[in-house]
Chain A
Amino acid sequence: MSQTTTTEREATGRAGPSQDVRRSSPEKDRSGPAPHPATVLAQNAPKQPATQGKPKTAKVPRRLLAAVAAAAVLAAVAATLWGSGSWPGGLTVDLSGPLGRANDWIIDNRDSHWLFLYFLGHISGAIIASVHAVYTVLLALGWAGVSAAAALLAWRFAGPRVAVTTLASFAVCGLLGMWVPTMRTLALMIVAVAASVAVGALLGLAAGLSDRTFRALRPVLDTMQALPAFAYLMPVVLIFGIGVAPAVLATVVYAAPPMARLTALGLRSTDKGILEAVESLGATARQRLLTARLPLARRELLLGVNQTIMMALSMAVIASVIGADGLGDRVYQALSTVDVGSALAAGIPIVLLAIVLDRITSGRASSGDHAHSRPRTIAAWATGALAVAVVAVISDQTWPTGWTVAIAKPVNTAKDWLVDHLYTGLPVIGGTADWSAHYTAWILDPLRDGLQALPWWGALILVAALARLIGTWRTTLTAVLALAAIGVLGRWDTSLDTLSQVVAAVAVTLVLGFALAVPVARSARVERLMRPVLDVCQTMPQFVYLIPVVALFGVGRAPAAAAAIVYALPAVVRITSQGLRRVNPGAMESARSLGATSGQQLRQVQFPLARQELLLAVNQAVVLVLSVVIIGGLVGGGALGYEVVFGLARGDLAAGLVAGTAIVCLGLMLDRCTQPTKKGAHDGA
């Protein structure tokens, strides 16, 4: 007992377990709610070993030279062998035949083969049974019971303010007439999060305790983090068909990695001194784990749970495309009829759910060290549980029908007015339809045509050069192989179409993001104003962003780009402004004393010194934009996202799976091209 308290005290007072944790924790403490999942992961993850000891600037020209020389040789060889232009047909492999046969085989044998009857059937059955059980409990508690229980949890974990927010949020869900869909999403979420946390914690435990597992697992987790959620849907549909079971499985696969990664990180960053001390006290391996390493990693574990919940919500909503039901299904139904009002009525509860879940779990992560005396805690819990039970018994079970507010119609009226007045023909700035037409005609089309006109080996060399400039040989190799794999799959032109959308949207995101980040970094007041906006934006699931853009920009590639930009912007602003703010004050001071103007300081001191963060911002922008551009297939974005939608819609899993694999490769390529390698020296500031 005394041993535990000692280690805990040391844990809270430790100077800083590792560079990686330190990078994310100040943000965590200051901002309260979690930063964007992907952002934290990227910050936490030591993606590449810090191989470069020497300053990078000296290395760049030599690298560039080497890359150019290699490129020239390769280009000559490639051009003579296969000619220029699009990916050569001789180098593609058509997978649609075998994949189609596999699909048929699965459908024909799903009710007879032992693999399905004795293994996959049990998995699916267990998932359905658990979701059913949770859903039944939620229904039995009734609306008042669920609200009270949620408020109790919020109060115990995160304080009275969050409890009030929780109550209000649940009330709004009911008022919007979305009580039942909300409960369905909640039931699915509870099961999916429990499974994700269990799986993630086990994987993280293995990786945290064994170096070999860690080395094997890390690239896999890295890759999974860079992939758009949409790519996960096809394989589970292939095996399990449409429904709740595949939706839960896709959610678990998507949401478990952050838990695994943060658990491993937490365990591995334990202070060596403490471990030695515990060992010298004669603790066994298990005691060391339970009494020292796990308690010391508590912050990372809680952060992992928080990240897992946020990612699970995001995926649970997207999984409506494969029959997950609940709030996502309402959004999906409304989107397919461009009924913005109904989509909003279903979208608001999603956002509220996201905010509530985030506040509850992140509240624990930052203020988890309250020393409650045990009897008082138990008494409080018991009182709370009793109150919940009483409320559940005396209240109705379903939300009273009279208590709803139909917002769909007024919202649609407002939207029609907006569209009528903003859509086209505004003086000087033009309407949103004009913007979207110009964006498509002046930016997207030339970019796409340019990329597609590029000789295929030219594209490979371009990617290689880019990846080599920013990353290591290994990232370069991965990027080039991923791009080549796209060609082999026969998705060259479609992927370049998607790529053009990503590149254009990333460019816009970065321009806007950097422009916004400068005032945020410089003025505390702007930062205070922006912080809640960024917080809310970062917790919203990707799906929600599709609703307003369809209203404003119609359908096509432009609305997909708009959604992507809005989705990626907060992460870019946050990372960039942090980078700018963290620039050594000494350097700033000396620049000022040399008489540098504000703009000069920015260009010549802050931006160069924050290079690492800027690169990270680019990387995040690319990953986040890609994920939304793919979902943009639902609103006419075309290209790879459309092929996945098409595959799902037509039951043509071969087309969908190939497109899904191409998305994976594209994501891998983009991530590796922009992945900054870590330098130890910079973070010392």
Chain B
Amino acid sequence: MARTCTLAASALALLAATGCGAADMTKQSSPYADAQGTKTVTLSVQSWVGARANAAVAQYLLEHELGYRVDTVQVDEVPAWDALSQGRVDAILEDWGHPDQEKRYVEDKKTVTPGGDLGVDGHIGWFVPKYFADAHPDVLDWKNLNKYASRLRTSESGGKGQLLDGSPSYVTNDKALVKNLGLDYQVVFAGSEAAQITQIKQFAKDKKPFLTYWYEPQWLFNEVPMVEVKLPEHTESCEKKGAADPATVDCAYPTSSLQKFFNAEFTRKGGKAARFLHNFRWTKNDQNEVAQMMAEDGLSAEEAGKKWVRKHPDVWKRWIP
């Protein structure tokens, strides 16, 4: 009996200590932010190298020109939206189009605000290496892909041709496409983009044929020239159908201009950092330059950012508020 009383009392005490009021967990930021009075901006870094290039330059400028402290956290695309709406991340610098999340967080909940164009157009497609396309030009039409399925077989593709995909988190309809176009292929996820690149480089070294999910802008094209396979044309009706049920998609990926998104609170109170990130806008060539330094020359994000900033003051001076 006495024990029960003690228990109840301590439970009450706990309630009292926590303040009994409402605690909105969607407004709790990272415990590491703003430590010791520094102003912190938390950027979500996705795993592909283009996005890391954006973050590298933004981080360098925020730290060295505007005096902020920048944290970068790796979060996958969809969870990043949730983290963004909760304020655990302040900004996503490169979004490839997530209509569901946009509707939920931007239109309905108003916890995320659009941050404008990044200035880079993105396109996703299926690619084969140039050496293979030169030898077999008809592979560039999807209707002929089945003819080559047996040549694209690997140990992971189970008797079918292999369509190499990267990270499961990337925007992809490949499984639906393979099914709806009646292709004799198996989608094999490498697990991450880096793994996919390693795999592609191995193939290219041995001049082996492969078919891969890939996208532009991407620095790897400079090293392994690849040609896009023509898929059924992207139409509006197909897009609508896909939006309703992703499993019915049977046409190519659209070309979309990549977007930035900010936490609503950050947009309002982020001051210079928010305005700077809003102005952040560069070209495909700029991004590729930084991406190549990081991925190919093995520079750290900070070194690559510094190098680019030294070289292109004309570009970034316009961003500083």
Contact = CB atoms under 8 A, between A and B. Distances in A.
Interface of A: 107-108, 110-111, 116-118, 120-122, 124-126, 128-129, 131-132, 135-136, 139-140, 184, 187, 237, 240-245, 320, 322-323, 325, 329, 332-333, 335-339, 341-342, 397, 406, 408-409, 412, 437, 440-441, 445, 550, 554-556, 633-638, 642, 645-646, 648-652
Contact of B191 (A107, A131, A339, A642): A642
Interface in B83-111: 83, 86, 88, 104, 109
A286 to B, nearest CB: 10
Contacts of A409: 298
A336 B192 contact: yes
Interface in B41-96: 45, 47, 49, 52, 71, 73-83, 86, 88
The 8 lowest CB-CB distance pairs between A and B, nearest first, are: A651-B78, A121-B23, A649-B169, A636-B191, A132-B31, A338-B194, A555-B195, A649-B76
Nearest to B206: A424
Contacts of A652: 78
Contacts of B20: 118
A318 to B, nearest CB: 14
Interface string B16-39: 001110111111111110011000
Main SS at interface, chain A: helix
B168 interface: yes
Contacts of A125: 18, 23, 25, 28
B193 interface: yes
Contacts of B71: 325
A651 B79 CA distance: 5
Contact of B81 (A135, A445, A646, A651): A651
A288 B311 CA distance: 75
**Interface range on chain B: under 10, 10 to 19, 20 to 34, or 35 or more?**
35 or more
A241 B155 contact: no
Contacts of B31: 128-129, 131-132, 135, 187, 244
A401 B96 CA distance: 36
Interface in B240-277: none
B74 A136 contact: no
A608 B99 CA distance: 64
Given A121-B28, A645-B191, 20 more contacts: A110-B25, A118-B23, A121-B25, A125-B18, A135-B32, A140-B36, A187-B31, A242-B82, A244-B30, A323-B75, A325-B71, A337-B194, A338-B198, A550-B195, A634-B192, A635-B191, A635-B195, A642-B191, A650-B169, A651-B76
B190 interface: yes
A184 B47 contact: no
Given A124-B25, A409-B298, A437-B155, A636 B195 contact: yes
Contacts of A406: 300
A336 B194 contact: yes
Nearest to A330: B74
Given A125-B25, A337-B47, A554-B198, A132 B35 contact: yes
A275 to B, nearest CB: 20
Nearest to B33: A132
B35 A135 contact: yes
B155 A136 contact: no
A650 B45 CA distance: 15
Contacts of B295: 337
A336 B78 contact: no
B249 to A, nearest CB: 16
26 contacts: A111-B26, A117-B22, A121-B23, A122-B18, A122-B23, A125-B18, A125-B23, A125-B28, A242-B88, A243-B30, A243-B88, A323-B73, A333-B47, A336-B47, A338-B194, A341-B298, A397-B36, A409-B298, A440-B156, A635-B195, A636-B192, A638-B189, A642-B191, A646-B168, A650-B78, A651-B76
A128 B28 contact: yes
B199 interface: yes
A278 B45 CA distance: 62
A135 B190 CA distance: 37
Nearest to B172: A650
A126 B17 CA distance: 10
A516 B190 CA distance: 34
Interface in B187-209: 189-195, 197-199, 202
Contacts of A244: 30-32
B167 interface: yes
Contacts of B169: 646, 649-650
Contacts of B81: 651
A480 to B, nearest CB: 29
Nearest to B72: A333
Contacts of A237: 79
Contacts of A642: 168, 189, 191
Interface in B150-170: 155-156, 167-169
Nearest to A180: B32
Nearest to B88: A243
A452 to B, nearest CB: 11
For B45, B80, B155, the residue with the greatest tally of chain A CB atoms inside 10 Å of its CB is: B155
For A110, A111, A121, A336, the residue with the greatest tally of chain B CB atoms inside 10 Å of its CB is: A336
Contacts of A645: 168, 191
